[in-house]
Structure 1
């Protein structure tokens, strides 16, 4: 069965290539305004340089994931009518896409939370938030455009925090005593560090040296792992890690990953 939280670019109207802005940087070769199609977007909504994005200076595209929001907005919210066929829908479609993307990201975390046995005492709350998030994601474009998604994120975050605490308790005192939420660890030397069960929610780990680090049962929700070196690191059982986070990092054949995630092709 097709995973609705996995991007299906063939069923999307190139929304991430149009709706979102980017600036010339190490991640993108050029500037692009929100609502303006990328110069590499073809008339069939496919990327003209998909197989050579990194070589062409668009590595940022290779680490982006809409969590299935693209096909949801294209095929369900707007009923399969694309913004080129109906230009009058374009502005609203581009405004709704980031909202649904946030909701689908929350669905991704809530779905994972239901698989975590140490958090079974809060599974009923997780299911309620999951059902509500699915309902919101299925709203029409007018309602989605007006949705206070930040308020809903806060509600979901409460149950995800409880989930994290229950799971990380299994790592023992080492994990419970350290809370590095939002910590600035850019370029930090954490080679071989014992980070078992540590909360790294939203931490800035850009270019951090995590070679051989023990990240088992660590909470990595929202952690910025761009160019972080995960070579030989152990992420077994780490929670709320996403494929885009791994795609943005560096690693090797010795990096141990949660079983549901794939080793990025560009890793050594």
Structure 2
């Protein structure tokens, strides 16, 4: 990532919780200068205070016209947070937001319709550099703006571009909330192992290793997920017996996940109103 412009003009990070910290750590590792970074966070972590000791500006003023302002506060804190940075609207500062459920229209109301705004939806595996983030911009966003946002967000994983904001609720329901579904799968798989007679600790060890290992295989393998499933399923075997339950059209995974993802997407739509 070319950080020359950001190191020259500065970057403001509003909110430095788990997601903000993961991104900031990635940027610093790729060459962002602490002296070119301003962070606003009412409850800074010890790690952030340590970075501030090396030149980052923490809760003390801001540059006049930073290259990027990245908003990483929780949606319920948005009303109090946005006025602190409203003055950056209308210029050539790029506003990037990773807050869930807050629409571009909300930011345009705060910053002005002429402000370049990119809305992004990352997910929690960003904390280990394995996230995936979807981005979309408002009407005045340029290709260069999207390139800059993608370069910043790629510090914590993959980045995809959407056709428009209308796809954001579905993205939130699949990848934004999706890690929780996987964690619950681990819980449920471990509980099922216990029900078959395994000690709780062993069942959880097996479930965690199985899900994380299968995920890594899906990440590395050239085959599709469907083919990987077929590869491990012998006709008439134990896996086939389990899949006959999991793939049952009305009560199995497909129907259950359709309902779950729809519920999450519907909730995202209601939060955005």
Higher helix share: 2
TM-score of the two chains, using structure 1 as the length reference: 0.30
Greater Rg over alpha carbons, structure: 2
Higher strand share: 2
TM-score of the two chains, using structure 2 as the length reference: 0.30
